[in-house]
Amino acid sequence: MTETRGQWSGRLGFILAASGSAIGLGNLWKFPYITHENNGGAFVLVYIAAIAVVGVPIMIAEVLVGRHTQLSPVGALKALGKDRPGGTVWQSLGFLGVLAGFTILSYYSVVAGWTIHYTWMALSGDLAELAVNPDALGAYFGGEFLANGAQQTMYHVLFMGLTTGAVYFGVKGGIERVAKILMPLLGMILVVLVIYSTTTSGFGEAMRFIFNPDFSTLTTGSVLEALGHAFFTLSLGMGAMLTYGSYMGRDISIPRAALQISFLDTLIALMACVIMFSIINTSGVEVSKSSTILFTTIPTVLVKLPGAGLLIALFYVLIGFAALTSTISLLEVVSSYAIDELRWSRHRATLTMGGVITLFGVLNALSLGGNTSLSSFNLIGRQSTQGLFGTMDYLASNWYLPVGGFLVALFVGWVLGPKMTRQELETGHGEFRGYGLWRFLIRFAAPLAVGAIIVSVILGKEYQ
């Protein structure tokens, strides 16, 4: 059975694909805007702590379960839970992952589709014309663009087509190949944009904002938001890392890979902040609605530069690439369930699941239409009033991912024995000196921290 499952070609393949999953709209869009809303510095430090204390241990836990069982979430948790306390109940955690993958993909792909439209507008010159007047661009985005159901649907379908195409060709031939092409390109575009940022007059202020902590502005809400975002940005709590781990060879070190992926993800989030804040500070534009900066403020600044059309196009291509390697992992979680558990062929699984999610996502795309007021517009991670789109996002960010992460930590920390987990983590690694620390974090720190998010959501104090 295991022979027919895909495998990464090696360590690099896994790292690139998993980083591709982690690095996405969460890094390039959401992180800069929540950093802006939470006043920079101190929030960034708390976020980095959340990645280290909660994110990395849970990523190690997920990959461990995947590689040990060589199965996707439902099968993996069924197999491991069977003879242990809790029994078959654990497999419902796998189903929660499939549900989360389905839910997130159905709206994430709509937003990802916007990058196609904006790339197109940048190349055709339409964006340059609109962006001369910031108000006109804001009105266009919040009004004409979002309300155009046919267009929203078209770009969403297009993006889902690209996603389905990649997953269709399998682990090595599709997912890994796309990541190996797009991730280096993404790195290069980012470096170019960071270098460009250093030449702008707003660069110094941006660096101070991001790296100079002022703890007096930090609130409990900010801490919870940083924690919640650590899950989203590292693709945790829904089995994406578990699934990717199941295609991993036994000669690869899990702790080292998890550290590298988390480091890359954090680095790119910070680079995105440097770029975004340098541009905004240089422009002198007052940002009132930070969640839409990417589609409203940024072009109005870039448009003034020499070679603007190409630069803006490059910028949106970058975001589109990052989003694509993330949507691929979301679809892989859902498809691999059908492949492993329902014994479907990969082709049948991807086409069916991709098709169903595309159809459901159309409802999300159309739900944007009724609301043309930018001031009431909240995107990813917010409890928003944005119809179905907002509900899907609310459920995923506030419920599915934290609950999934909490249960994974309990399962791996308390239900799986230390002998089994140590052995898996030392396979491909040698003696794992950090084992004691990891086990402490996964048993105590992670459940407590994530538990705090869940309690705050239950009490109705949504952190996002």
- Binding region for ligand PHE (CB under 6 A): 21-22, 24-27, 104, 232-233, 235, 238, 240, 326, 329-330
Q: How far is CA 228 from CA 55, 58, 67, 403, in A?
A: 10, 13, 25, 11
**Cα–Cα distance for residue pair 347/270, rounded to 1 Å:** 38
CB of 123 to ligand PHE, least distance (A): 25
Select 19 or 384, whichever has its Cβ closest to ligand PHE.
19
Give residue number: closest CB to ligand PHE: 26
**Cα–Cα distance for residue pair 175/173, rounded to 1 Å:** 7
Select 223 or 330, whichever has its Cβ closest to ligand PHE.
330
Select 24 or 57, whichever has its Cβ closest to ligand PHE.
24
Would you list the DSSP string of 98-166? HHHHHHHHHHHHHHHHHHHHHHHHHHHTHHHHHHTSHHHHHHIIIIIIHH-HHHHHHHHHHHHHHHHHH
Tokens representing 231 are: 């899950």
CB of 430 to ligand PHE, least distance (A): 30
Q: Compute φ and ψ for 297, nearest 5 degrees.
A: -75, -50
Contact by Cβ (8 Å): 44, 223: no
CB of 118 to ligand PHE, least distance (A): 17
Strand boundaries in 217-302, DSSP class E: none
Select 27 or 115, whichever has its Cβ closest to ligand PHE.
27
Contact by Cβ (8 Å): 9, 176: yes
CB of 95 to ligand PHE, least distance (A): 16
Select 371 or 397, whichever has its Cβ closest to ligand PHE.
397
Select 400 or 432, whichever has its Cβ closest to ligand PHE.
400
How buried is 265 (Cβ within 10 angstroms: 0-12 exposed, 13-18 middle, 19+ buried)?
buried
Select 164 or 281, whichever has its Cβ closest to ligand PHE.
164
Amino acid, res. 56: V
CB of 99 to ligand PHE, least distance (A): 12
CB of 120 to ligand PHE, least distance (A): 22
CB of 211 to ligand PHE, least distance (A): 21
Q: Which residues of 429-456 are buried (b: 16+ CB within 10 A; e: fewer)?
A: beebeebeebbebbbebbbebbebbbeb
Tokens representing 86 are: 């809790």
